[in-house]
Amino acid sequence: MFDAANTNRKDKKSTNTLDRQEFVNFYHQLTRRPELEELFVKFSRGKGVMNASDLLCFMREGQKRHDTDEEYCRHIIEIFEPQMAVKNREQLSLIGFTNFLKSEKQQLFKPKHGTVYQDMTRPFSHYYIDSSHNTYLSDDQLRGPSKVEAYISALERGCRCVELDCWDGSDDEPVIYHGYTLTSKILFRQVIEAVKLHAFKASPYPVILSLENHCSLHQQKVLASHLKNILGDLLWSPEGSYLKVMPSPEDLKHKIIIKGKRLPFPEAEVVSDEDESAENNNNIPSPAEDKKSKHKMVKEMSDITALQSVSFKGVDRAMAEEGAFVIFSLVEGKIEKLLLTQACEVNLLSHSKLLRIYPAGTRTDSSNYNPVPMWNAGCQVVALNYQTGSEPMQLNHGRFLDNGGTGYVLKPNFLLSDAMFGIVNGTVVNNNTKTLRITIVSGYQIPKPKDSDRGEVIDPFVKVEIHGVSSDYHEARTKAIDNNGLNPRWYESFNFTVRVPELAMVRFVVKDEDRGRDDFIGYYCLPFNSMQEGYRHFPIYNKYGSQYSQSMIFVHTTILSS
């Protein structure tokens, strides 16, 4: 392209330079989108410009927006047409049409779902809550560094439940680290200061501090003092041992909630050990086997702990637990076993109690489990290692794009109904089955894999995956386009039947085809019900959830009721 644009070589001292007009021509060739030109020619009927009537036809036929009128189309022309003479004639050029199709509201993700559109006045147990495990770690679970910045990053990415493992430190200052390991230590006070500054930048809805309290009685008082003095009015600590009614996210906007053990009555000094730190196996203990250790707790910490952590001793005993605002923590292996035999009972428990799931201690490399089966059963606080870029965190990213990225997403109504939970396993018919037809049209400025050879040109392909209930899992992939990461074009179509769209997510993975192993380039994930029909772009994210600048995939989607 550069050589083709460099037409005036004889007039230059150096052949590898472009003058002003040559650079403009080079830029237009570099950014040319033949697939968009084809659409433009079709809907402008070859006139070279689109008027409001042409654009209305495109909006209704191409974008499935039957509620659009010509007045709205004139508004589009006013915003996206850069050439004043064309704009004054109420027409849209190819450049204006391209600008419009690349705009945020025309992307695959529904604009409405990028705002808070769900009812936020229902009890906490009705929502999925974006959650992190061992939030302080930035690497592995044994030797990696602990960083205050890890809390800042998680909170600013929308995480609403962060974990703090608290231990005695020197100079009467409690510290946070992964106990009995070689991970580094950070001051509890500094973490709370960072939480105060960054808690509500991504979302106004409440932040839960999941405290594992291993401190002596004296340093527990220091914990309580720091929480009260630093957080001030942000700290929510209701009166009384038990709440009578579980609050809603709307009730606690801009509030910080402490999750942990509470003393059973004012005169008590002893509570059972925190579930996660005491977890030695994945089995559910019987009452006779329940020999969890006890430790002392100061009243000052108990009084400011609003979300009560209760040891899980089986579904029946959990259902009988008093208190409206309680949470049970289960290691991944334990919940996986329960879902094989008592999925309905687990879901019933999640109607009124919070269930927190966390990775097994054997995941010393900070890997993650698949969160989807837990979400399908109604578990709300499915905690993942945020520092690990992999498919589980990408699915988590997609799940919590919904509802304005607030970190709270309302569960489907059938997960709150004992009679309708059978929709998940297929014993109850879902009358909302959909068929998705998706065409992967093209890519634009797809980057090379991070570790690729410098001179290599990629051979990109796109994989489409449906995640949700087990019967809905499907995947398909395009062919690879040889040596073209700039503007590959596939024009390949796939059909998917989605039985439970309310729980389904669509994950796109862009890879570079290589001998032996295909290299991961990027992904995009979103809820099935957040997809727009028509001709749509979506951005590409690297494996850690950071968006690539300019890179995008162009698709066409149709969603039909089956």
pLDDT value at residue 279 = 54
- Residue 31 has what pLDDT? 84
CB atoms within 10 A of CB 137: 28
Q: What is the pLDDT of residue 234?
A: 97
The answer to whether the CB of 257 falls within 8 A of the CB of 209 is: yes
**For the chain, how many residues are written?**
562
Q: What is the phi-psi region of residue 387: left when phi exceeds 0, alpha when psi lies from -120 to 50, beta otherwise?
A: alpha
pLDDT tens, residue order, the chain (562 aa): 888 888 876 655 667 888 899 898 888 888 889 999 999 999 999 999 999 999 999 999 999 999 999 999 999 999 999 999 999 999 999 999 999 999 999 999 999 999 999 999 999 999 999 999 999 999 999 999 999 999 999 999 999 999 999 999 999 999 999 999 999 999 999 999 999 999 999 999 999 999 999 999 999 999 999 999 999 999 998 875 567 889 999 999 999 999 999 988 777 788 876 556 555 433 444 444 444 567 789 999 999 999 999 999 999 999 999 889 999 999 999 999 999 999 999 999 999 999 999 999 999 999 999 999 999 999 999 999 999 989 999 999 999 999 999 999 999 999 999 999 999 999 999 999 999 999 999 999 999 987 766 667 899 999 999 999 999 999 999 999 999 999 999 999 999 999 999 999 999 999 999 888 899 999 999 999 999 999 999 999 999 999 999 999 999 999 999 7
Bridge partner list, 524? 508
- Structural domain spans, the chain: 31-106, 125-423, 432-561
Please report the DSSP string for 420-453 in residue order.
Answer: TTHHHHTSS--TT-EEEEEEEEEEESPPPPTTS-
CATH of 31-106, picked from 1.10.3720.10, 1.20.120.10, 1.10.357.10, 1.10.238.10, is 1.10.238.10
d(CA 524, CA 545): 9
**Full strand arrangement of the beta sheet holding 489-498:** 474-477, 460-467, 505-512, 519-527, 534-541, 547-561, 434-444, 489-498
Angstrom distance (rounded) from CA 3 to CA 88? 37
What's the pLDDT score for residue 290? 45
The model's pTM is 0.93
Other Cβ atoms closer than 10 A to 374: 25
Check if 31-106 and 432-561 are the same fold: no
Domain 432-561 annotated CATH 2.120.10.30: no
Cα 91 from Cα 143, distance rounded (Å): 62
Backbone angles phi, psi at 378, to 5 degrees: 100, 0
125-423: CATH superfamily: Phosphatidylinositol (PI) phosphodiesterase (3.20.20.190)
Contact 49, 93 (CB under 8 A): yes
Angstrom distance (rounded) from CA 171 to CA 153: 28
Which residue matches tokens 């993650």? 368
Report d(CA 489, CA 130) in Å as an integer: 36
pLDDT at 288: 43
Which residues are the active-site residues?
133, 178
* Residue-level pLDDT at 365: 93
Q: What is the C-alpha to C-alpha distance for residues 217 and 147, in angstroms, rounded to an integer?
A: 25
